[in-house]
Structure 1
Amino acid sequence: MDFTRRKLLKTAGLASGALLAPHIWVPSEARAAALKKGEPLKVGVLFSLTGALAVPEEDSTLVLQYAFDEINKSGGVGGVPVEPVIVDAKSDFNVYSEKTKELILRDKVIAIFGCYTSASRKAILPTIMQRDHLLYYPTCYEGAECTQNTICTGPLANQHSKDLIPFMVQNFGKKVFFVGSNYVWPKESNKNAKIWLEQAGGELLGEEYIPLGSSEFGPVLNKIRDAKPNFIFSTVVGASDIAFHKQFKQEGFKVDQMPIASLTTGEIETRAMGAEFGAGHFLSAPYFQTLDNPTNQKFVEGFLKSPYGKNGTTHYNMEETYLSAYVFKSGFEKAAAAVGFENVTPRAIRDHSGGIRVEDAVSPEGLIWIDDQNFNTWLKPKIGQCQADGTFKIVKAADAQVAPDPYSIYPDIGVCTKDGLKAPDGKIRKNVI
């Protein structure tokens, strides 16, 4: 297996246990024998219900349960019900890695839905790839990755910050300050953002990263006050994101003079911090609760009235997670039609998922489809501004679905294909992370 560790950073050590103990694993081919027509399909749900990442990830767990309930009431997947095996990863990269092994070996799940941060995704990918298993990753991420074991339903950098940066420069000014959580996604996302900023004629005044889960932004805000940017570009996540917005206002910063443009601060974060702390700031995402279409209205009303809608709002990450359940349903059923129900493996699902569409009648954000080469999602980017009531007014939306491009700022590296990363010389490397 030729997977690259150049971007694992500190998470490599957390995930290494999966590579050091291959003798504990059953062969992946044994997965086919575990499927029996009429028995429920077990899937892993691996998000954090506690800790610093619980704010977005608890809702991902809740909306997956809602989606599978919805699917089961309509006949299930391949004629059988889905049985989610729910795990609390506790916002701990070691736990993500350990529980991935348990879900595959002990629980014998056919696929895993999980992770919010790229750090947690990279912690479990060595195990996923070693076992030729399947991860549905349902949120935005930085790209520069090409595996044959993931399906991603969130936007890549070329589908959000590429629009957000020039929008902010045009409307608020050229000077920007970057603030992010200290792990791979913010840093790699900001490499993309710097290119979009340069193309827009902007100027980067500073770049700061704070530990994941930290709530102390005083020193960073002092640097921002001294730099006097026109806007802040934020890749701060989880509980830290809430603390950042609250301290921004408490320190006397004015949103009309220096708004925060974020890739992560949506309805659920705004609800957690209080609408007064989110109002006026911006988010780039493919989904907002205020989208005006019949499918979204049905989704919002149904989810909020269900036992899973306890937190009182929908959110881009929740919707992307919801979509992943329907992508799984279509992929499994296509694989079963091709190879037979009892012969379906995680890899077979992935290989039959290219080109799968989730139509307007099912997708709250509107039609999306899975790219048949890189297995990311074609979607319509949007930009919203938070209002006084915590909802978002859409201020810009793409006219058509934008192709996902994992290597948009690295054209010389190659192109992600269904078989691996194809370099300009024609050589293909599998499982590049």
Structure 2
Amino acid sequence: MFASHLPAAAQETIKVGILHSLSGTMAISETTLKDVMLMLIEEQNKKGGVLGKKLEPVVVDPASNWPLFAEKARELITKDKVSAVFGCWTSVSRKSVLPVFKELNSILFYPVQYEGEESERNVFYTGAAPNQQAIPAVDYLAKEEKVQRWVLAGTDYVYPRTTNKILEAYLLAKGVAKEDIMINYTPFGHSDWQTIVSDIKKFGTAGKKTAVVSTINGDANVPFYKELGNQGVKATDIPVVAFSVGEEELAGIDTKPLVGHLAAWNYFQSVKTPENEAFIKQWKAFKKNDKAVTNDPMEAHVIGFAMWVKAVEKAKSFDPDKVIDALPGITAPNLTGGISTMLPNHHITKPVLIGEIQADGQMSTVWETSGLVVGDEWSDYLPDSKDLIADWRAPMSCGNFNVATGKCGGKGVN
């Protein structure tokens, strides 16, 4: 009876939420993710939509304001009635929206590398866990570059702090001396890097090969790399491996002083596969810009969106409970030529690539895993986490099952 009062479009379209910062410190990274979602939805509609329904994107701007993310997520779910949300970049924004997705029982696809130590029923993590990025990067530096001293430099929030906690525990377990690890945090949008870069240079003069492991996020990367160039810090002296700098961030800076520095991701635009070549061509056409670049979190949205479509088709429903249950085991092609799988812990399988920054702002792959790596949600290197696993399938249905005690809620959270 009430349905007849609704506009026809509301009955005929299925809404998809896009929750990415289009202003503020994270806009440099997140605007592209909004655009790639619009492209994927447009492409899916050309194929006839999903279950015979057209998809309608609903874009909001949480403006790099972490509490506003929760407000906008609630609006998308309750007011706009979206079937799923693709969004967030920083872990603090993800942590901000988590209670909303749990309370309202909706679905979030989160496309960015993160610190792990989490597995939620309502979240699907399509970016890398630490064992799919941070740990392999440190292993590469120790083995290939013979690094013995480590600067862990990050933005001051949960992702860098937890990642560095894991990396510090890992390095100490590998026999690195405590005095050979320097940890530094700066606020979002930090711009004055002179003293810090000077400290890094000084730390690197102890006669041991030194590297910087960077979890610096957002637009603070621009002045950081500029200052490295100003102070003559070359990749041959102190290489920097970044976890949050991709082709999009490099597009805005003079990359010549950065040549040879490294980035660890699960995808680079420079990857030569038919899937990637088709994606790049499609992206440039959508952006109407032949210089438009692609990056890793975009690929994570490509995979996550394809998995959501498949899960809806498998469940024959947009109902969140049915889609959540359908997602584990769903596969989708990644752009590096493999097939990624959604695991019972709501993480995916991914290859790990380490790339060297080139003068044109692209990455040249210098190392990659031989196959896909299973995303490990709980770190083996933290005492509170080493006994925890996640499996959201019945009968376990638990994000933190303690294998030592045989109980769910092994860390006091779920």
Please report the TM-score for the alignment, with normalisation by the length of structure 2.
0.89
Aligned pair 1:77/2:40, yes or no? no
**SS of the residue 1:283 aligns to:** strand
Aligned pair 1:210/2:186, yes or no? yes
Tell me the residue number matched to 1:334: 314
* Counterpart mapping for 1:315-394 below 5 A: 315-336=295-316, 341=317, 344-359=318-333, 363-394=334-365
The Cα of 1:414 is off from its aligned counterpart by 1.5
Aligned pair 1:417/2:391, yes or no? yes
Q: Residue 185 and residue 255 in structure 1: after superposition, are their counterparts in 2 closer, same or farther (change >3 A)?
A: same
Tell me the residue number matched to 1:4: none
2: CA distance, partners of 1:62 / 1:179:
30
2: CA distance, partners of 1:205 / 1:412:
23
Residues 138-172 of structure 1 show CA distances to partners (whole Å, capped at 9, x for unaligned) of: 11111111211001111100111111102112233
The Cα of 1:318 is off from its aligned counterpart by 1.3
* Counterpart mapping for 1:20-419 below 5 A: 39-172=12-145, 173-203=147-177, 204-228=180-204, 230-307=210-287, 312-336=292-316, 341=317, 344-359=318-333, 363-409=334-380, 410=382, 411-418=385-392, 419=397
2: CA distance, partners of 1:254 / 1:209:
22
The Cα of 1:200 is off from its aligned counterpart by 4.8
2: CA distance, partners of 1:79 / 1:274:
47
Unmatched 5+ stretches in structure 2 = 1-5
2: CA distance, partners of 1:226 / 1:180:
18
Unmatched 5+ stretches in structure 1 = 1-32
Q: Residue 278 and residue 334 in structure 1: after superposition, are their counterparts in 2 closer, same or farther (change >3 A)?
A: farther
Q: Residue 427 and residue 416 in structure 1: after superposition, are their counterparts in 2 closer, same or farther (change >3 A)?
A: same
Residues 100-142 of structure 1 show CA distances to partners (whole Å, capped at 9, x for unaligned) of: 1111111010111110000000001011111111110011111
The Cα of 1:67 is off from its aligned counterpart by 1.0
Letter in 1 for 2:228: F
Residues 166-196 of structure 1 show CA distances to partners (whole Å, capped at 9, x for unaligned) of: 2112233211111000000001111222244
More off after superposition, 406-415 vs 194-203? 194-203
1: CA distance, partners of 2:17 / 2:45:
16
CA contact (8 A) 1:62 1:309 kept: no
**SS of the residue 1:70 aligns to:** helix
Letter in 2 for 1:208: N
2: CA distance, partners of 1:95 / 1:195:
34
The Cα of 1:252 is off from its aligned counterpart by 2.3
More off after superposition, 67-76 vs 408-417? 408-417
Letter in 1 for 2:331: R
The Cα of 1:323 is off from its aligned counterpart by 1.7
The Cα of 1:52 is off from its aligned counterpart by 0.5
More off after superposition, 413-422 vs 119-128? 413-422
Q: Residue 252 and residue 278 in structure 1: after superposition, are their counterparts in 2 closer, same or farther (change >3 A)?
A: closer
More off after superposition, 410-419 vs 168-177? 410-419
**SS of the residue 1:376 aligns to:** coil
2: CA distance, partners of 1:302 / 1:265:
23
**SS of the residue 2:287 aligns to:** coil
Residues 199-257 of structure 1 show CA distances to partners (whole Å, capped at 9, x for unaligned) of: 55545331000012222222321221221161111000110122211111112222221
1: CA distance, partners of 2:215 / 2:56:
34
| Amino-acid identity (%) | 29
Q: Residue 432 and residue 74 in structure 1: after superposition, are their counterparts in 2 closer, same or farther (change >3 A)?
A: farther
Residues 14-70 of structure 1 show CA distances to partners (whole Å, capped at 9, x for unaligned) of: xxxxxxxxxxxxxxxxxxx99999711101100001111011100000111111111
* Structural RMSD (CA): 2.3
2: CA distance, partners of 1:63 / 1:291:
18
The alignment of Structure 1 onto Structure 2 pairs a total of residues equal to 392
The Cα of 1:370 is off from its aligned counterpart by 3.6
Letter in 1 for 2:95: K
Residues 291-331 of structure 1 show CA distances to partners (whole Å, capped at 9, x for unaligned) of: 11101000011101213758710011111122221111111
More off after superposition, 373-382 vs 169-178? 169-178
CA contact (8 A) 1:354 1:372 kept: yes
**SS of the residue 2:15 aligns to:** strand
CA contact (8 A) 1:35 1:41 kept: no
Residues 348-377 of structure 1 show CA distances to partners (whole Å, capped at 9, x for unaligned) of: 211110011003xxx312334344320101
The Cα of 1:393 is off from its aligned counterpart by 0.8
